[in-house]
Amino acid sequence: MHADNWAQKAKSLGYRSRAVFKLIQILEKIKKLKNPSLILDIGSAPGGWSHYLKDKYPSSEIFAIDLLEMKEIKGVNFFQEDLRNIENIVQINQLKNEFCLVISDLAPNLSGIRSIDEANIYELNLLTLEQAEKFLNDNGIFIVKTFQNSNLKKFRKEMENIFKIVQTAKPAASKKQSKEIYLYGIK
């Protein structure tokens, strides 16, 4: 399916962005997720992933955090906050080590200067990984967007220190020319 078709399909199904199909394709690859009770969506705006997961797992409690505004999604607890301040969100912090799934489609604003962009991506990935480690339960799954660059191997190694299984996914819904890639870890 052509990239623009993904956006049209998302719109026709009532989803907020084409990114929903990336998540669907990654979850199909994992196959291990069975009705997660608690989900943390980091970098959730515009809300496509939270929306899809709430539809797919209506009994799940979903917590979403982003610096950007996100239109309300029924049944999703959204906090407009910097990830660095997640400790300030009592509702999330009281659930350490209890989440079944932590997802992140977060990416920094790109400057166009490769060395700076790669360093920012790596820093954001590490911050997200730190939160996943803190909030996931013993059987938890972590899905994170990163990019093919000089830090990818180093970041993957960091994930391998925490998760039993670490895999790479390049969903068909990702644009072919994009360096975007996803890693997922299973505890």
Catalytic residues, by residue number, are 145
Q: How far apart are CA 126 and CA 108, in angstroms?
A: 13
| Sheet order of strands, 165-169 included | 76-80, 61-66, 38-42, 99-104, 136-147, 180-186, 165-169
131 membership: H or E segment, kind and range: helix 114-135
Cβ neighbour number for residue 36 with a 10 Å cutoff = 20
